[in-house]
A and B are shown apart, each in its own frame.
Chain A
Amino acid sequence: MSDERKVRVLLADDESHVRLFVKSVVTAIGFEVVAEAADGKKAVELFDTAAPDLVLLDINMPVMDGLAALKALRAKSGSVAIIMLTSLASADVVGQSLDAGATYHLRKDLPVSELKEELRDAWLAHLQDLEAPAQ
């Protein structure tokens, strides 16, 4: 993966203020939001054209919720990083999403600095996971 190329992010959250905030954080750590969706169905539709490296999925969304979208996306791509955006650090939702192939889960109510750090660490961990089987 080239250092010059920015990480492409697909962001899905039904709340516009969340999208604005998360997009700003993602941009601040040098990633690029290539597509935004207000619900899970829209996110799945945008996936192919946006070709993201990383998908940020809200759990509670209308039309198609985060878990359903996660399963649909995982069916499309086994390698894309999918990070669940949670506000309720609810164990069962986290467990379910990890079981369904989520890369990581991230609490969106963290302070900006922590959020940046967590997001970066999650991305790096994902890269290591991708490289590990090759070694």
Chain B
Amino acid sequence: MVPPPSPPANELDTALAARLRRIRVTAAVSAAAFVLATAVATVLLSNRTLSSYLAGAAEEADEEVKAISGVVDQTFDHLAAMPRVLTNSNELRAIAMRYSARGAEFASLSRAERFQQLRRDPDVSRSNAGLTAVRNELNYDLVYGLDTNGIRIVSSDWDQPLSLLGERLDDREYFKAAIAERSGHMFAVARTTRIPVLFFSAPIESESGPVGVMVVRQDSEQLGKILGGRPLSMIVDGAGVVVAASRRELTLTHVGPLAGAPPSVEAQRETYAQDPMRILELTRPSRPLHPAEWRFEGRPYLASTVVLTDKNYRLIVLSPIESLEMTRPLHYAVGTMVGLFGVLVALLVSRRAEGLARQRHNERVTAALNDRLVALNKDKDRYLGIAAHDLRNPLSSMRGLAELMIETPLEPDQQREFLDTIRRTSDEMLHLVNDLLDTAVIESGKLELRRKDQDVSALVQRRIRHLEPHARQKQITLEVDTAPGRAAIDAARFSQVIDNLVSNAIKFSPPGSTVRIALRVENDQVAFSVQDQGPGIPAEERQLLFRSFQKLSAQPTGGEKSTGLGLAIVKKIVDAHGGTITVDGAPGSGARFTATIPAAAPGA
């Protein structure tokens, strides 16, 4: 019976460590992959959601802006129509014809004289009152008429302190446009008020051609009002300058990237009375999701632009998309939570897997330990059986022989033979009991060595002297070849090694043969070897050789007893010294046992 291998505790521990490492790496990789996938998915989904949201918002904004542009167009139409309507007034035409007919004579008067004459003209006064009523009724800034020399002959502000009644305005674009092109509108900054205004003009026609021009002036503040409650709506001229806006401070600024380059500094001064002009800080977001997406004053907007009908103006509306500011962080927060949840799941799963691995490991260790205990217990039972058997035979023989000696009259020779047998048998029993006790001590792990540095060769020679008589009985020669060698050994225990190996050699050697005992010192190792000329040991028996109670095929040659414990004890003692024991030699050519131990105790 081959005892089962010791539980591979280290192997199991290594396997557990590897398994735990695998679990942790898998969990970490899974968690990292999940987090990465979640991050990518979050960004992609967020972008997609926001893109489609922005596309919808942009469409809506465009619709609304179109609606507003309709209103603005209408307002422009009304403003453009009003001077034409006024030119239909016969009264106004008569006044215009009268003053235009005076021509150069009236124009050569001083402005103050013209003013006085106009104030004294009852027709003019009546018309002035009429225009004031129109202005007030339609909420215009100013309504007035010019003669063909560009002299303001009627005006809704005739009674105002800064009224320009009588002023010559023939250099004005709207005047020139009305005379040359029979209609006109233009934008300008009112020189006196510095307020941006829009002029709409129309010629007063007669049979002989234009006799004057009617003008309606509207300021940007009034225009801004029609842009409604939208916070950022602007009417922008061809140069990209805001001429009216829902927010007053935006007027006379340049819309920056929403238009071309701002007008030159000269033009800014000339046309807009601005030096320098403020440029709106519209920037593109770092990762725009929509072409109309802009940032202004730190907030996101969608810019919608509509060109106003037949005019040199555009309507630009910035629609706030505040939710964008909130949505993306919300998406990212959800993504982060999903990622964290994944990490948590990976952590929990790996914890659980680790727990299971540990549990399985513990079960395996317990099972291995249990197997070993069962095997050891079986061994113990077997040893006990063998020992009991090996002790009972000699005991019953000894008792029988003693009985015979008591009951039967014996010859002295017979008595001596009986007593010899009893002594020899009790010797063998004592030997077996000693070996059993030794084995018990060694097997229970209580083998304590009292090591002392000493001359091993002297010890070998001392033991050989004790073994010599036994060898001589079998006509066996002990050939001893020892080199002086020192090692830290337990002398009593190492004596057992020498005794057991040498007496084994004697036991299994044929009479007349030689047993060679050698002690060599090499590479800090002391090698003690015993070579016999016995039957040798078959290869298949070598691994069983050093186990307890293994009596193998070789038989003692002189009827000696074998306990089956000697070599097991030798191996344990050599192992305890940190050495090794080997056996070699082919069957038929004898066996050689070599015990090799370190020359000095480890750490000594």
User: Interface residues, chain A, CB within 8 Å of chain B?
Assistant: 15-18, 20-21, 24-25, 28, 38, 60, 62-63, 87-88, 108-109, 111-112, 115
Q: Is B49 part of the contact surface with A, judged by Cβ < 8 Å?
A: no
- State which residues 401-442 of B face A: CB under 8 Å: 401, 403-404, 407-408, 414, 417-418, 421-422, 424-425
| Known contacts A17-B424, A17-B425, A38-B559, A25 near B400 by CB under 8 Å | yes
- Which residues of A are found within 8 Å of B404, using beta-carbon distances? 21, 24-25, 28, 112
User: Interface residues, chain B, CB within 8 Å of chain A?
Assistant: 389, 392-401, 403-404, 407-408, 414, 417-418, 421-422, 424-425, 555, 559, 561
A28 to B206, CA, bound (A): 181
- Which residues of B are found within 8 Å of A21, using beta-carbon distances? 396-397, 400-401, 404, 421
- Which residues of B are found within 8 Å of A108, using beta-carbon distances? 393, 396-397, 400
Contact B393 A20 (CB under 8 A): no
CB of A73, distance to nearest CB on chain B (Å): 21
Contact A20 B408 (CB under 8 A): no
Contact B401 A20 (CB under 8 A): yes
- Which residues of B are found within 8 Å of A112, using beta-carbon distances? 400, 403-404, 407
CB of A88, distance to nearest CB on chain B (Å): 7
CB of A40, distance to nearest CB on chain B (Å): 13
Residue of B with least CB distance to A28: B408
Contact A115 B393 (CB under 8 A): no
CB of B40, distance to nearest CB on chain A (Å): 77
- Which residues of B are found within 8 Å of A24, using beta-carbon distances? 400-401, 404, 408, 414, 418
- Which residues of A are found within 8 Å of B555, using beta-carbon distances? 62-63
Residue of A with least CB distance to B417: A20
Contact A109 B392 (CB under 8 A): yes
A108 to B399, CA, bound (A): 11
Contact of B400 among A60, A62, A115 (CB under 8 A): A115
Contact B401 A17 (CB under 8 A): yes
| Known contacts A16-B559, A17-B394, A112-B407, A87 near B400 by CB under 8 Å | no
A96 to B395, CA, bound (A): 26
| Known contacts A25-B400, A115-B400, A15 near B407 by CB under 8 Å | no
Q: Shortest 3 CB-CB distances between A and B: which pairs?
A: A109-B396, A17-B397, A21-B400
A38 to B558, CA, bound (A): 11
Contact A87 B392 (CB under 8 A): yes
A42 to B389, CA, bound (A): 23
CB of B362, distance to nearest CB on chain A (Å): 41
A66 to B227, CA, bound (A): 126
A15 to B560, CA, bound (A): 9
- Which residues of B are found within 8 Å of A62, using beta-carbon distances? 555
Contact B398 A17 (CB under 8 A): yes
Which of B393, B407, B408 has the most CB atoms of chain A within a 10 A radius of its CB? B393
Contact of A17 among B392, B408, B421 (CB under 8 A): B421
A62 to B564, CA, bound (A): 14
Extra inter-chain contacts (7) besides given A18-B393, A21-B401, A111-B399, CB under 8 Å: A15-B394, A17-B397, A17-B424, A21-B421, A108-B393, A108-B400, A109-B392
- Which residues of B are found within 8 Å of A60, using beta-carbon distances? 389
Contact B403 A20 (CB under 8 A): no
Residue of B with least CB distance to A109: B396
A52 to B416, CA, bound (A): 28
Residue of A with least CB distance to B425: A17
Which of B389, B403, B407, B559 has the most CB atoms of chain A within a 10 A radius of its CB? B403
CB of A113, distance to nearest CB on chain B (Å): 8
Contact A87 B393 (CB under 8 A): yes
Residue of B with least CB distance to A108: B396
- Which residues of B are found within 8 Å of A109, using beta-carbon distances? 392-393, 395-396
Contact B421 A16 (CB under 8 A): yes
Residue of B with least CB distance to A58: B393
CB of B401, distance to nearest CB on chain A (Å): 5
